Structure 1
Amino acid sequence: DLVTGKRIGIGLASDGLYRLPIRVATALLTAIQTDKRREDCLQSFMYWHERFGHLPFGILKHLFPDLCSSFDVSSISCDVCQFAKHVRASYPLSSSCANEAFSLIHSDVWGPSGIHTHQGFQYFITFIDDFSRATFIYLLKDRSEVPRIIETFILLVHTQYGANVKTFRSDNAREYMCRPVEEFLRQRGIVHETSCSYTPPQNGVAERKNRQLLNVTRALLFQRNLPKHYWGDAVLTSAYLINRMPSRVLNGRTPHSLLPGSRPPFPLPPRVFGCVCFIHDHSPNVKKLDPRSIKGVFVGYSPTQKGYKCIDPITGRAYVTRDVTFLEHASYFGANPLQGEQSVGREEYSQRQELQFIDFLDYKKTESLNTVDVPEKEERGDNSIEKEGPQLFGQFYSRRGTRTEVMTCDARSTSNPNATPSLDEPSPTEETVETHDEIEKKNDDLPIALRKGVRSCTQHPIGNFVSYSRLGKDYKCFVSTLSLAVIPRTVAEAQSDSKWADAMKEEIDALRRNLTWEVVKIPEAAHLVGSKWVYTIKYKPDGSVERYKAQLVAKGFSQKYGIDYLETFAPVAKMKTVRVVISLAVMKEWKMYQLDVKNAFLNGDLEEEVYMHMPPGYEEPEMCCKLKKALYGFKQSPRAWFERLRRVMIRHGYKQGNGDHTLFVKKKESKVTLLLVYVDDMIVTGDDEEEIIKLKGLLATEFDLKDLGKL
């Protein structure tokens, strides 16, 4: 039995056949029937698995126990379930721990916070000793400070605790993988262990410590309604307290007690973070009748001084002193009605900031707020805004008066005293000047839709600033001729005009000279791509017509992937590369030249077999164009053009850049020549003038090149 592996019976060979006894044959038939029943049950089981939306096999076995009696559910699998429900492997709890302090350090960077502290910090970095689980934390303004902080911490461990860091564990963030960090750790003989990409559980000690720190930090901020920009002091205080609290991981011991040469945990009695405190004023300028203390907020403990750290929110000045009186039950900042947000005291903001945040702070009337004058009509109306009412915002804004077709002289003069009237706008006369009251009386008889008019968001109508009278004489002629030339909309309309017919013939002749296609019979089952004509008019600077241009473009949207095109990607010069090349040329005093390739996409050779309908107006029955080169509009045209240019440059000794494939470099002795390509525009620079002239000639022979001179 191939399934169970049991032997059914033994047959003796006779005349080229195996003769089985009746007993063995019966057992064999039974085994075959059992296999058939097992396959049927398994197939039915999988059908129900799919009908129920790929229900787990364990639940399905509970629903259909009879189906599962003939096979083992654990031996089957479903690929669809693996694709749809695959999860990451679980990480078992690790019981391993370092044998001595600071032999293994876990580290992680948190941030950005989104809110800067008073000192401008928005990140913090943690260092956790695996043996004692003591946490060391540093505030950062930018991630670039990480290498310096790592050196500072390792020197601190060596000097203060007489220990050497043996292993440093972090994630794969670039601030940890940079060269200064790697060189420093290598010189110290420290092994740098990193987690796998997108696998933060492998750095779980640091990740969980960050979560614990933030949990305590939020609690400290919320308990006394501190603003969020105090998070830096709160997270430092969180680390200070956590290091002195018993830990389940350490069997009830504190991290501080396991550090070498540990001192008393609390040199000062702990106080409630964020409570009101009164700081004794030691200033020599205090007069005899002046207050002897300053009201502030308690924000933590100093790591280098035996004193409490307090802040005066009004001035932002920090104090470290023992001469403090605490009101631990009181909060400096008022309770906030918004859940999860903290109220900010008004004394922290200037008058300008109060105007900005008044709708979020206290909703009270203030005398410092200004209002915009409301028109008399709105002041007399029933729905007018009462100035004595509570002010929720810094200013009141009212709708402007109704704009009518007739503008008063006053309105014109106030909107723009130097405005020049448009050619199409008549100058105001005495008959058109009306008072505001007369206009309102006329508007009262109009329907409401006309009386309300159109809302305007500007006090400076564009008609008062932009007009034909401001144009130069030549440009005014140019603008006026734009409406005279008519661009045809159809091929028949273009062929009826000799100018456009000649332009179309010129385009067809150019494509034929370029050997863009060959005319063949339409192959069977061939997919034909369409084409269309695009007509434009080129003007001279004086406004006269330079030439009429007709361009044949392909209808790329009708192409089918895998038939008419495969790859379409074409590299484009990166802006960083452009800036580097320009900076290098300026620093080395190289000359830069700009080149432009005319009809660049027409130079690309097609690798696919593409058939196109005959151009409109030049159709031939049962014939089509088998394209050899690309046309504008094809999806692969940019790729074909760049590939042709790449082959030309490589053939003449240029090397393609690795970081940017659009950069071509040629070194000749001690001189260098650079060519940077952005679609059909090129920048040529270097210190080899002879090679630059040679390169221009080379490109001119390969393509229709236009030299735009020095850049």
Structure 2
Amino acid sequence: MGHASVHKLINSGCIIKTDTKEGRVCVVCPMAKFTKLPYHLSTSHAAEIFHLIYVDIWGVYRVETRGKHRCFLTIVDDCSRNTWVHLLKEKSDAFKAIEEFMLMVKNQFNKTVKIIRSDNGMEFEDHRCQALFGALGIVHQTSCVGRPQQNGRVERKHHNILEMGRALRFQAGLPLHFWGDCVLTTAYITNRLPTPILKNRTPYEILHKIKPDYSQMKAVGCLAFAYNPSLIKDKSQARRADGSKERDKARLVVLGNKQQYGVDYAETFAPVAKLTTVRSLLAVVSLEGWHAYQMDVKNAFLHWDLNETVYMKPPPGYIAPNTPLTTNQGYSSLKAHGFNQSKVDYSLFTKLASQSFIFVLVYVDDLILASNNIHLIQETKAWLSSLFHMKDLGSLSYFLGIEVARTSQGIFLSQKKYVTDLLKEFHMTKCNAFPWHHTSNSPPQLVTPYLILKPSKDWLEN
């Protein structure tokens, strides 16, 4: 009858009570229907700090932190319920973390750990851990196999840490590899939160005998500013930041929203080079063996002379004089230094000096300098640096999302970094790569990750 209970069989009329023998027990039913007895929450509480601690490891996680960590060790003190979290690269690193914890307890609190309770993880049964426990006279208690409830206090602490850590990461919009920072922050916060178990006191207060200070706590992901001291060239100088102001920096933006539709609404200008111009210039550089360098402007500037007087309203917070504000002083331009502006691409400037040529391609605040004369490039760099705060980036290697690598075979162009950043932005890094390029008007074509620019002179002339 499928090992139904005797009472059900009697109530259904399948058997009568006299058919059952007193004391007869089915040996199959206990094996098939046996369940664990319920666990009751323990109300025991250590009388002194570090008399009993619970330890456990979470992980290994599939995503590494910024420090290459993939798991963490959690230590909970039974008396104060204070929690310590140590990020680990491997589970085998638990011994070093426990050893450092023992030293911290001795040096900071003048205490010794009496009992350590853990599960049956091999990292705690390691001969090094056992030797450490024996040398310090620590009793190591382990839970029964398959009974994690016996180590439930640290197991529940893991659950709380992961929940709060996820909430912090979601609120701040942090990438997944910041999970380690969120876990450490969670432990810091929970140690300063009151709990009914401690009669609405905090673990920090029980451990340190003082109430925690909340004035320095900030929300995860809030706006923060860091002082970046200037580089110190003299090793004998002090390296501690003194809080002094490095330089004054401001940017004036003239409001340009008064254009009229049908008059000058569509008249805009931005020094942005065309991608076709970039590729053509690199083709010439590759064919002729020219030098190619890159510079960056540290402050925004206009490379065009202003011929009109522009009136402007004062910016907020600025006390304007009685006279109107005007901007009629033109900036020094490339044209004033003998460069000719291209009629096809206004961001390309050329200059001929005897048998030397130099090209300057402008894209907002990024510049490409290409020439057959390295000395002419150096002179142009020095001239630009005398006018603006320039940053010399050296030989051309990365421009507009294009990686540029120069070899004896030519110039290799790749947009791998650009594509990778694009996939990360749309959460598509796990999609499968497909080496075919296809449009609706052309058959599929096999594409290579690099484009070799080694054109012929006929191609350039055409």
TM-score (norm 2): 0.51
**TM-aligned CA deviation for residue 166 of structure 1:** 0.7
Deviation readout 1:256-285 (Å, 9 max, x if unpaired): 1211x333313534322233x131424226
AA partner of residue 214 (structure 1): L
Counterpart in the other structure of 2:197 = 249
State the 1:229 CA deviation. Answer: 0.6
Answer 1 or 2: which has greater helix percent.
Answer: 1
Matches within 5 A, 1:213-228: 213-228=161-176
Please tell me whether the aligned partners of residues 57 and 73 of structure 1 are also in contact (alpha carbons under 8 angstroms): no
CA distance in 2, matches of 1:70, 1:135: 62
Question: Deviation of residue 119 (structure 1)?
Answer: 1.1
Distance 1:69 1:206, change over 3 A: same
Distance across 2 between alignment mates of 1:234 and 1:95: 30
2:454 maps to what in 1? none
- Deviations 1:564-618 (CA, angstroms, capped at 9, x unpaired): xxxxxxxxxxxxxxxxxxxxxxxxxxxxxxxxxxxxxxxxxxxxxxxxxxxxxxx
* Aligned-partner SS, 2:108: helix
Asked whether the 8 Å contact 2:165–2:179 carries over to 1, the reply is yes
Counterpart residue number, 2:28: 80
Match of 2:419 in 1: 355
**How far apart are the structure 1 equivalents of 2:84 and 2:142?**
19
Give the distance between the partners of 2:226 and 2:71, measured in 1 at CA.
Answer: 33
1:560-709 pair list within 5 angstroms: none
Q: Is the 8 A contact 1:117 1:232 kept in 2?
A: yes
Counterparts in 2 of 1:352 and 1:92: CA distance versus 1, 3 Å: same
Give yes or no for contact 1:135–1:239 (8 Å, CA) kept in 2: yes
d(CA) in 2 for partners of 1:189, 1:102: 14
* Residues 25-424 of structure 1 mapped to structure 2, 5 A cutoff: 47=1, 50=2, 54-55=3-4, 60=8, 64=12, 77-259=25-207, 261-275=208-222, 277-284=223-230, 288-290=247-249, 352-356=416-420, 358-359=422-423, 361-362=425-426, 383-384=440-441, 398-399=444-445
Unaligned runs of 5+ in 2: 232-244, 252-400, 402-413, 429-433, 447-462
Structure with greater contact order relative to length (CA < 8 Å, sep ≥ 6): 2
Distance 1:355 1:114 in 2: 24
**How big is the shift at 1:107?**
0.4
**Aligned residues: percent identity?**
33
Question: CA 1:176–1:361 in structure 2 vs 1: closer, same or farther (change >3 Å)?
Answer: same
What whole-Å deviation, never above 9, does each CA across 1:513-542 have from its counterpart, x for those lacking one?
xxxxxxxxxxxxxxxxxxxxxxxxxxxxxx
Offset from partner CA, 1:206-227 (integer Å, 9 cap, x none): 1111111111111111223221
Structure-2 change in CA distance of 1:144 and 1:399 (3 Å): same
Which secondary structure state, in structure 1, belongs to the residue aligned with residue 187 of structure 2? helix
Q: Is the 8 A contact 2:56 2:155 kept in 1?
A: yes
Query: Is this contact kept in 1: 2:436–2:445, CA < 8 A?
Result: no
Asked which structure has the greater CA Rg, the reply is 1
Q: CA RMSD in A?
A: 3.8
Aligned to 1:522: none
Would the aligned equivalents of 2:73 and 2:86 in 1 still touch at CA under 8 Å? yes
Contact in 2 for aligned 1:246/1:255 (Cα 8 Å):
yes
Output one character per residue of 1:471-525: Cα deviation in whole Å (capped at 9) or x when no partner. Answer: xxxxxxxxxxxxxxxxxxxxxxxxxxxxxxxxxxxxxxxxxxxxxxxxxxxxxxx
Q: Note the C-alpha offset of 1:109.
A: 1.1
Q: Distance in 2 between matches of 1:86 and 1:148?
A: 42
Could you say if the C-alpha distance between residues 372 and 201 of structure 1 is closer, same or farther in structure 2, counting changes exceeding 3 Å? closer
CA offset at residue 174 of structure 1?
1.8
Query: Unaligned stretches of 5+ in structure 1?
Result: 1-46, 293-346, 365-370, 386-396, 401-711
Are the counterparts in 2 of residues 172 and 194 from structure 1 also a CA contact under 8 Å?
yes
Question: How far off its partner does 1:247 sit?
Answer: 2.0
What's the CA shift for 1:182? 1.2
Q: Equivalents in 1 of 2:186, 2:93: separation in Å?
A: 22
Residue 239 of structure 1 aligns to a residue whose secondary structure is: helix
The answer on whether the counterparts of 2:229 and 2:246 sit within 8 Å (CA) in structure 1 is no
Contact 2:10 2:17 in 1 (8 A): no
Q: Summarize deviations over 1:337-381 as a string: whole Å, max 9, x none.
A: xxxxxxxxxx9xx963442363452499xxxxxx9996xxx87xx
Q: TM-score, with normalisation over the residues of structure 1?
A: 0.34
Deviation at 1:117, TM superposition (A): 0.8
Q: Which amino acid aligns with 2:425?
A: L
Checking the alignment, whether the CA contact within 8 Å between 2:10 and 2:16 is kept in structure 1 is: no
* Amino acid paired to 1:281: Y
**How big is the shift at 1:106?**
0.6
Q: Retained in 2: the 8 A contact 1:104–1:129?
A: yes
TM-aligned CA distance change 1:85 to 1:164, over 3 Å: same
Q: What is the distance in 1 between the residues matched to 2:427 and 2:114?
A: 58
